[in-house]
Amino acid sequence: MSAKKTSHSKPKSKAKSFRPNTMWGGRFKAGPAMIMEEINASIDFDRRLAQEDITGSRAHCNMLVAKKIISKKDGAAILSGLKKIEREIAEGKFKFRREFEDIHMNIEARLAKLIGEAAGRLHTARSRNDQVATDFRLWVRGAIDDIEDGLYALQAALIDQAERHTQTVMPGLTHLQSAQPVTFGHHLLAYVEMFGRDRGRFADGRARLNECPLGAAALAGTSFPIDRKKTARELGFDQPMTNSLDAVSDRDFALEFLSSAALAGVHLSRLADEIVLWCSPQFAFITLSDGFSTGSSIMPQKRNPDAAELIRAKSGRIFGDLSGLLATLKGLPLAYAKDMQEDKEPVFDGFDSLNLSLAAMTGMIATLTVNAAAMKAAAGAGHATATDLADWLVRHLDMPFRQAHHVTGALVALADKKGGALSELSLAEMRSVEPRITNVVRRVLSVEKSVASRKSFGGTAPANVERACLEARRRFL
């Protein structure tokens, strides 16, 4: 009995379907098979490099003219044609064609249509290998600058809120359980530090990527008397890349970008997770503005923190972008291989996810309102001032801390047995555990006294937080 034919049956071969591609030159008698065109084309995503490609071509053209490799007349025609193409793209009139594979050949084909034979001189002394490496570095450099702006804005929003809440007491948690009281301003400034480190990582990566591959050609350099320093300067790079093989094959800058983006995503996700908790009825610490809340299709009472939840999810997407690119690059021999065509989509996606997440988080932080009463009530729950009691025993009774810890633990157990707080124990009850305790101990059992006492450098005391806000503005804004 013959096997039943399914929708997964092998399709009829299209190997004889060809489409001409004039950009290949004389090596091939026919164009690629349609399926080859489908897997080979990158124009659907690398059109995002259009401006960078034109910018790089301008610099290359100027250098070729300066070195008398092409004539001034041809150079002027090329620059005029590139300007027209730039305008067409900006106005949405440029037709991106898949048969020209990528952004480089699309622009070159249009340039040839506009100015004729002179267009063919632009590719003298360069290859698509160094061309795309240059375009991609330019794009990532600009993306880092955009992320820097987003991180700056988020830090500013966090510092603004921290300044408003230097004395707002909230529970500090470990293991998601009440630990010690802190101030909300102090808590927010912790994220300012995290995002400051993110800015530093992106800045470090930007400095390392700022070398120019242009002029490395396919992999070995060129026999034409080019001036790589001139093109590097014109494109804002610090210097040309030293080794031509490294110039066309290196994608460290893309991995560094995604690595930094992934770490920023971790920090955004942690903050987003806290926002989800804080605005739940069980916590009720904050209320998100209407602009950053959504409703339910069936439950009219709901105010859902969808923006925070989506930020939390998008961080995982960025992690996937990083791991995918690592896997793509890990086994490639020098120099260029077509695998590298797969480097752009994860970087584009990682940038889009992080940039949007930063904007959404900044909006949420800037517009949220704080329920200080709920925070204060929660700050005192779970015997949060127990450590303050232990510290008092050390200071006033000269008790070793380990013994003070034991005594305080016994008092906590007594309070639990009575179903109340430490501060609600009578003096007699406290003395039943440690006879030397006096009523002076009550001065350290309030959450306000607890946070005020944390004056050590980096601590949560309101006076510290006020100074820390000023210092954060000086360091980061």
List the catalytic residues.
Answer: 175, 296
The whole-angstrom separation of Cα 248 and Cα 161 is 46
The whole-angstrom separation of Cα 146 and Cα 361 is 15
Distance of CA 204 to the CA centre of its chain: 14
What is the end-to-end Cα distance of the chain in Å, rounded? 76
253: which residues sit within 8 A by CB, 6+ positions away?
Answer: 136, 137, 140, 205, 208, 209
Distance of CA 69 to the CA centre of its chain: 42
Distances (CA, A) of 322 to 44, 256, 280, 432: 21, 9, 32, 60
The whole-angstrom separation of Cα 150 and Cα 141 is 15
The whole-angstrom separation of Cα 399 and Cα 437 is 11
The whole-angstrom separation of Cα 195 and Cα 352 is 18
DSSP assignment, residue 10?
P
The whole-angstrom separation of Cα 125 and Cα 73 is 18
The whole-angstrom separation of Cα 171 and Cα 169 is 7
The whole-angstrom separation of Cα 64 and Cα 70 is 6
Phi-psi sector, 201: left (phi>0), alpha (psi -120 to 50), beta: alpha
The whole-angstrom separation of Cα 388 and Cα 146 is 45
The whole-angstrom separation of Cα 170 and Cα 182 is 6
- Host H or E run for residue 463: helix 462-476
- What 3-state class would DSSP assign to 399? coil
Nearest CA-CA partner of 361 in 274, 268, 446: 268
The whole-angstrom separation of Cα 71 and Cα 121 is 10
Alpha carbons within 13 angstroms on the beta-carbon side of residue 476 total: 30
